[in-house]
A and B are shown apart, each in its own frame.
Chain A
Amino acid sequence: METAIHTSEAKTNYLNADYSIKSWLLTTDHKRIAILYLISITLFFFLGGLFAMLIRLELLTPAGDLVLDDTYNKLFTMHGIVMIFLFLIPSVPSVFGNFLVPMMVGAKDLAFPKLNLASWYIFMAGACFILYSILTGGVDTGWTFYTPYSTTYSNTNVITAGLGVFIIGFSSILTGLNFIVTVHRMRAPGLTWSRLPLFIWAHYATSVIMVLGTPVLAITLVLVVLERLFHFGIFDAKMGGDPLLFQHLFWFYSHPAVYIMILPSMGVITEVIACFSRKRIFGYNFVAMSSIGIAVLGFLVWAHHMFVAGISTYAALIFSLLSFFVAIPSAVKVFNWTATLYKGSITFETPMLYAFAFIGLFTIGGLTGIFLASIGVDLHVHDTYFVVAHFHYIMVGGGVTGFMCALHFWWPKITGKMYPEAFAKLSAIMVFIGFNLTFFPQFLLGYLGMPRRYHAYPPEFQVLNVLSTAGASILAVGFLMPMIYFAWSLQYGKDAGPNPYRAAGLEWMTASPPPTFNFAETPEVTWEAYNYDQIDAPDHGIDKGVEVAG
C-alpha cells in the first residue's frame, strides 16, 4: 500500500502536473520557465546559425557573388545580434540558472517567481522587436551599432533592433536580481556560502554584471534611437557630438557582457569536472573568488576595444595593463580544473568530453586575448579576422560548449530520460573538430590582414576561407545532431532515475524530472560541496539522497 502511494507521487512532476497551454504560459515554476527559455533560445540559435552559414558560403569565393553587399552586411549584423542578445546572454543563466539555482540552494523556487515569468515575456517582447526588424528588411550596423553610422547614415531598421535589445536588457536585469536575492535569502539550512556549488558562485558573479552593466547599454541604445529620431547631437560630430562617447558607453556594458556569456559556462564545467573525476574541485575558494575577480575586473577593461579608435596614449596604456590583469583569474580557473583531474577516477561521458573541449578552446581563446591586450600587436590585428577568431573561441568554444555540456549533463534531470551516449559523443567530437577547422584558420587570416565584415576579399585569402567554410559545415552537423537525439530520447530514452551520474549537489537528491516544488521537504545540508568521497564511500549508498526527497 505504502509503495503504491510512493509510485503515484513519483509520477507527478513539474512536466506532467498539468498539460494545458495556459499552465505553461502562466507558470511561475522556475523549471517550466527554464523550458520556455530553452525552446525560444534554441530556435534563435538555429536562426543565428543560418545567418552564419550564409556568411560562410559567401566567403567561399573572394568575389562578393552569392549575396549583395547590403545583404551581407545585414547577415553579419543579424548573426551577431541574434547570437549575442537572443542566445548567448540568456543561454546558460536563463535556462540552466533558472532550472538549477533554486534546486542547488535547496529552495522551492526563485525568490520572485512572477518576476521570473515576466522576464521571459519581456525577453520575448524584445525578441519580437528584433525579429520584426529582421523580417522587414534587417539591420546593417553590425551588432556594435557604432555611431555615427547607426544614428545618421544607415537606412535600415536600427530603431526597432535597438529597442529590441533595450527591452531584452530588462529581462537580463530581472533575472540577475532574482538570482542574487535567491542566493542570499533562500539557501537551505546548513548551506553556507562556502558549501555552495561553484555553479552558484559563477551565476552570482554573472548576476552582478547583469544588474550593474545592462542599464548602461539600455541608456546608450535609447540615446542612439533618440539621436536617430530627433537629431540630439550626442554622438554625431556634425551635430557637435562625440562618436567615441558611444564606444565608451557601449563597451562599458559589452565587455562585461562577454563575462555574462562565459562565467555561467565556467560554472557548468566546474560541476561536470568534479562529477566525472569524482573529486572535490581543487582550490574551491580560489575558483569562487576568481569568478568575483572576473566580474569586478571585467568592468575596468572596456577601452581595449578602442586602442585604435583615437583614445589618448596613456588611456590606452592603462586599459592595456588592466586587460592583462583580467587574464589572471581566468588562468587560475584553468589550472584548478586541470588539477582537479589529478588523482581522480575519471570517466568520459559526453558532458566530460564537452568540459575537456571547453578547457582547451577557452585556453586558446584566453591566450589570444593576451595578443589583443598587447597594444603593439593589437594595432595590427584589431578589426581583423584575428579578433573574430578570438571571440568565437571564447563565445562558441567557451560559451556554447558550456551550454552543450550543461544540456547533456542536466538533460536526465530536466526530462527524466537518458540521451543516446554514442551519438552524443560523436556529435561532441564533430563540434570540437568542426569548430577548430572553422576558426583556427581565421587567426592566420587576421594576422595576414583580412579585415572583418568584408563581403569581398583579395584572392590570396581564399584557401584559408575555404577551410573555414568546410569547418563550419561540420560544426553545423555537430549542432544539428543533438536536436534529433534529444527529441528521440524524450520518447525512447532510458529512464534516468534521480541521479544517473551519482553526482553531488542537491538537484540530484530529488526525482527526475523533479516535482513541482523540487523537494518534498526542505533539505538540511551537513556536507561540503562536491562530497564525492562520501558519495563513493562503500557505506554511503546514493539512495540516501533520494530519501531526502521522499
Chain B
Amino acid sequence: MWSNLPLFPARASNMAGHVDALYFFLVALAAFFTCLISALILFFAIRYRKGRSPQATQVHGSTVLELMWTGIPLAIVMVIFVWSSVIFFMQTRPPKDSMEIYTVAKQWMWKFQHTEGQREINELHVPAGRDVRMIMTSQDVIHSFFVPAFRVKADVLPGRYTTTWFHATVPGHYHLFCSQYCGTQHSEMVGEVIVMDPADYDRWAAGGVDGSLASAGEKSFQQYGCSMCHRSDVAGRGPNLVGLFGKPVLLDDGRAITADESYVRESILNPGAKVVSGFKNIMPTFQGQLSEEEIVGLVAYVKALGNGTANLPLPVSQPNSGDYPVAPKAEPSAVKSDQAAAPAEKPTQPTPVNPAAKQ
C-alpha cells in the first residue's frame, strides 16, 4: 500500500505544465500567508500572554495598515487573475487544425467516434503530438469529461454540444473520469485514454473500419430523406449544404451566425429556431427520431460537405453558390482547416453501421 502513494498527477499534455506552474505559485502563496498568520498569532499569543502582559494596551486601528492589507492582497489576486485567464484562453481555444473526436456520454459510459470511423466505448485512443478537439454531448444527464493527466475538464450536457481540446505529449494509459455526478454508477463511468505514437495511431485508426463517420452520416442523410430537399441545385426546398460549414449564414430575422456543430445539430432537431433567409420554415423536426450517434454522423457529413471532402448523394449540377445565401467575403481559409482531420476520399457507397458499436 505504501509503495503506492502518488502525490502528484502525471503530466501528459502541453497544458499540464502551465496549470502546474500556476498551481505551484498558488501553493507557495497559500503556504506563505498561512505561515505568516500562524506565526503572528503564535508570536502574539506568547509575547502578549497574560503572564507577561498583565494589562492590554488599547490600539484602535490604523488606516495605513488597513489600506495595506486591502491593497496588497488585491494586487496579488489581480496578478493571479490575469495569469489564470491566460491559461484559461489556452484551455478553451483549440488550434484551428485540430483533429476531432465526437463523444456521446450516457449513463454510464463514454462512446467515442473518430472521424475515420473507429468507434470505442470507455477507451479513447489519441495520438501524441496532435491537437485533439472533443465535440461532446450527452444522451441523458450532465456528465463531465475529465482527464487528470491532461488537466482537462468539461461538462457534457444533454441537448447541446460542448467542446474541449488537448495536445497529448507522452504515450501511455491515463485515467478518464466522469466528474459530474450522474447517478447510480457514476464512479463506474471511468475509462482509459490511450495516448499512442502518431504512426501507431494512424495504423489503429485505419484498421478494420467500415467507413468514415461522414460516410455513416451520408447514409443517414439518404435514409431520412434529407437529400430530397437539401439539394445543390436551385430546385432545393432547403438550403444547399455544400460549402456551408464554418461559413456565416444569414437568417430570416436578419441575424448572421456561423454554421458550427451546434447550429447544424439545432437545425436538425429544431429547424424552426434559426431559418435561413430566403427559405420557408417547412422542415419537420427530427427530435426523438435520431440517436445522438446518428446526429453526430450527420454533423460530420455536413462538415465534410463544407470542406469539399464529401459530395451530396444526388447527381450534382453546377454548384450554384448564389442559391445559398452565404454572406459576402466568406473566408475560404476558415474551412480549409478541417481537411487534415476529415477523411480525404471515401467511397460514397453507403456502408452499414456496426450495430454493436451503436449501443
Contacts and interface: CB of A to CB of B under 8 A. Distances in A.
B69 A335 contact: yes
A328 interface: yes
Interface string A400-423: 000000000000000000000000
Chain A interface residue bracket vs B: 35 or more
Given A332-B66, A345-B56, A368 B183 contact: no
B158 A238 contact: yes
From B83, B180, B190, residue with most partner A Cβ within 10 Å: B180
B37 A383 contact: no
Given A317-B85, A343-B57, A370-B77, A463 B4 contact: yes
Contact of B59 (A282, A313, A316): A282
B224 interface: no
Interface string B154-170: 11011110100000000
Interface stretch (A96-104, A146-154, A157-165, A539-547): A146-154
A339 interface: yes
Contact of A243 (B60, B142, B188): B142
Contact of B7 (A341, A444, A532): A444
A282 B69 CA distance: 13
Contacts of B279: none
B179 interface: yes
B30 A448 contact: no
A16 interface: no
A339 to B, nearest CB: 7
B89 to A, nearest CB: 7
Interface string B29-50: 1100110011011001100111
Contacts of B60: 280, 282, 284
A331 interface: yes
A135 B178 CA distance: 30
Contacts of B37: 334, 338, 359-360, 363
A145 to B, nearest CB: 11
Contacts of B356: none
Query: Of A154, A277, A452, which is in contact with the most chain B CB atoms at under 10 Å from its CB?
Result: A277
Nearest to A466: B1
B116 to A, nearest CB: 27
Interface stretch (B15-23, B244-252, B253-261, B304-312): B15-23
Contact of B34 (A278, A360, A455): A360
A321 interface: yes
Interface in B195-231: none
B41 A338 contact: yes
Contacts of B70: 328, 331-332
Interface in A364-410: 364, 367-368, 370-371, 373-377, 379-380, 382-384
A43 B149 CA distance: 43
Contacts of B4: 459-460, 462-463
Contacts, number: 284
Contacts of A359: 37, 41
B342 to A, nearest CB: 25
Contacts of A154: 183
A283 interface: yes
B157 to A, nearest CB: 5
A452 B92 CA distance: 23
A67 B185 CA distance: 13
A426 interface: no
Nearest to B149: A449
A335 B77 CA distance: 16
Contact of A332 (B53, B69, B180): B69
B88 A316 contact: yes
A371 B26 contact: yes
B61 A308 contact: no
Given A380-B19, A456-B188, A462-B4, A532 B81 contact: no
A291 to B, nearest CB: 15
A347 interface: yes
B187 A375 contact: no
B62 interface: yes
Contacts of B49: 345-348
A376 B153 contact: no
A94 interface: no
B148 A380 contact: yes
Contacts of B1: 462-463, 466
B73 A317 contact: no
Contact of B61 (A282, A376, A382): A282
B29 A370 contact: yes
Contact of B56 (A283, A284, A459, A536): A536
Interface in A27-70: 64, 69-70
Contacts of A364: 30, 34
B313 interface: no
A193 interface: no
A149 B181 CA distance: 9
Given A149-B141, A370-B77, A376-B22, A278 B56 contact: yes
Interface in B291-324: none
Interface in A296-336: 308-310, 313, 316-317, 320-321, 324-325, 327-328, 331-332, 334-336
A382 B88 CA distance: 14
A215 interface: no
Contact of A448 (B7, B34, B40): B7
Contact of B74 (A277, A320, A328, A375): A328
A237 B157 contact: yes
A380 B23 CA distance: 10
B54 interface: yes
A451 B160 contact: no
A153 B107 contact: yes
Contacts of B359: none
A363 B34 contact: yes
B19 A376 contact: yes
Nearest to A454: B187
A283 B9 contact: no
Given A335-B69, A464-B5, A532-B56, 18 more contacts: A69-B187, A73-B181, A282-B60, A283-B66, A284-B60, A285-B61, A309-B157, A317-B88, A336-B66, A338-B44, A348-B45, A376-B19, A379-B88, A383-B144, A383-B153, A455-B186, A463-B1, A532-B58
14 contacts: A237-B157, A243-B157, A284-B60, A310-B154, A346-B50, A348-B49, A364-B30, A368-B30, A374-B83, A376-B88, A377-B84, A380-B19, A380-B148, A464-B5
3 nearest A-B residue pairs (beta carbon): A237-B159, A449-B148, A376-B87
